[in-house]
A and B are shown apart, each in its own frame.
Chain A
Amino acid sequence: MSSMYAFCDRLGLSFRFIMRVLASYPSRRVHVKQILEQIYRLGNETVLIILVAGSFIGMVITLQGFTNLAKYGAESEISGLTAYSIYRELAPVLTGILVAGRVGSLLAAEIGMMQINQQFMCLEMLGINANRLILFPRLLAVIVSMPILNTLFCLSAIMSSNVVCTVGLGLPEGMFWNSLQYQTLFMLDFMHGLKKSFVFGIIVAWIALFQGMYTSKDRLGLAHATTTTVVSASLFVLAIDYVITAISGGVMV
Chain B
Amino acid sequence: MNIELRNGRVIDPAAGADRGANVYIAEGRIAAIGAAPAGFRADRVIDATGLVVSPGLVDLSARLREPGLEYKATLESETQAAVAGGVTSLVCPPDTDPPLDEPGLVEMLKHRARSLHRSRVFPLGALTQGLHGERLTEMAELHDAGCIAFSQADAAFTDLQVLMRALEYAATFGYAVWLRPQDATLSRGGVAHDGEVATRLGLPVIPVCAETVALSTMLILARETGARLHLCRISTAEAVELVRQAKRSGLAVSCDVAIHHVHLTEMDIGFFDSNCNLVPPLRGLRDRDALRAGLADGTIDAICSDHTPVDEDSKQLPFAEAEPGATGLELLLPLTLKWAREAGDALPMALARITTAPVRILGMELTGLAPGQSADLCVFDPQAWWRVEPSALYSQGKNTPLMGMELQGRVRYTLVDGAIVFETNSR
The reply to whether chain A is a binding partner of chain B is no
- A-side residues, CB < 8 A to B, are none
Instruction: List residues of chain B with CB under 8 Å of any chain A CB.
Output: none
